[in-house]
Amino acid sequence: MTPHGTRKVILATNIAETSVTVPGVRFVIDTGVQKRRKFNPSLGIETLQVYKISKSSAAQRAGRAGREAKGTCYRLYPQVEFEGLKDNTTPEIRDCDLTSLVLTLKIQGYDDILNFPFLDRPKRDSVVRSLEVLYLLGALGNDGKPTELGKQMNLLPLSPELAKVLLSAARGEENCVAEVIDIIACMSPSNAGSNAIFMTPEPGKRDEGTEVRSHFASSLGDHVTLLRAFREYLSIGSHGVGVKEWCRKWEINWRVMKNVVVCPRPPSFWVLIGKEIQKQLISYCERNSIVVNPQTKYDADAILKAFLSGYILNTAFLQMDGSYRTSFSHHVRPYTKIS
């Protein structure tokens, strides 16, 4: 409840357009823009960018004002710009990675994915790329049919790339399933990649944040860095004291860590504290006799090989001029001099 004589200001994301109704709201300020994830099939990269909203979104935002009484919506853009907006928001299926969807359809027996009767047809380039990725991962055979590996990958509540990583970790000479699960857990909460558990540095303090994070930094890459931070967090958490203080000191997002942590208990079972995805992963491993024993000393090379098996499309070759050329799309990233 808002105290008498005060005014509440709510900063809301796009979800407030249709899913949230807060009693007492009388005014809405519409910026006319939104942050939206968009997948680039040619580069295989998903980015979060700012786009103009549609007219339907603008109407939904205005509808949040005055649900119980008369309200007012202030739009921070002119009428002529509103008239130039699209009538409806672009369906998400046209802007997202379709690899998981295509694998599921293949396993369900739909072979002609390009002509599948989608309600909103995705981009052809995205579908073709998804088929190529699944073939390179070994999920599809030369005949376009799902392989046994592909069927196993589809059982996991992960992207095909991460599913291949987990299965590769179990099949290698050095079993590193526990370590891979730890890393995937840290990457899962916000789907924000390898920096999910670290706090975003404040403006003007990026150098200080980099210096603090160097405590966990590994020359072998971000994945091993995540593992080091996660394992140290577990060692602190096992004592039950000083966890928040430790997270504050090393600029770790305590709320995120609380949602991903899994505490190992001997001899062969785990206690879940948080994300359901970890429970599913561990349950899958146990049902298929995959050993998940955390090791005191981990094999970083085995971990990196497992991730490489799933993210082979993310590899690039260093060129003579200092630039990098990606292995499959042959996209060139120019050389950047670091001062």
Domains in the chain (CATH in brackets) are 14-90 (3.40.50.300), 174-310 (no CATH)
Read off the pLDDT band of 336 (50, 70, 90): low
DSSP symbols for 112-170 = -GGG---SSPPPHHHHHHHHHHHHHHTSB-TTSPBPHHHHHHHHSSS-HHHHHHHHHHH
* pTM metric for this prediction: 0.79
Can you read off the two tokens belonging to residue 179? Answer: 């370590």
**Looking at residues 234-260, what average pLDDT do you find?**
74
pLDDT at position 113 over 70: yes
DSSP element (H, E) containing 38:
strand 33-40
164 compared with 7, residue with greater pLDDT = 164
pLDDT at res. 98 = 93
From CA 270, how far away is CA 166, in angstroms rounded?
17
Residue of 270, 216, 204 lying closest to 247 (CA atoms): 216
**Residue 88 — very low, low, confident or very high, per pLDDT cuts 50/70/90?**
very high
Extract the tokens encoding 305.
């090989």
pLDDT at 52 over 50: yes
Task: Please tell me the least confidently modeled range out of 61-65, 278-282, 304-308.
Answer: 278-282
User: Cα angle at 64 between 62 and 65, to 5 degrees?
Assistant: 75
pLDDT at 339 over 50: no
More confident call, 227 vs 19: 227
Q: Which residue has the higher pLDDT, 274 or 109?
A: 109
Chain segment 135-189, per-residue pLDDT in tens: 999 999 999 999 999 998 988 878 899 989 999 998 866 788 888 888 887 876 4
C-alpha 194/C-alpha 216 separation (Å) is 13
**Residue 210 in this model has a pLDDT that exceeds 90:** no
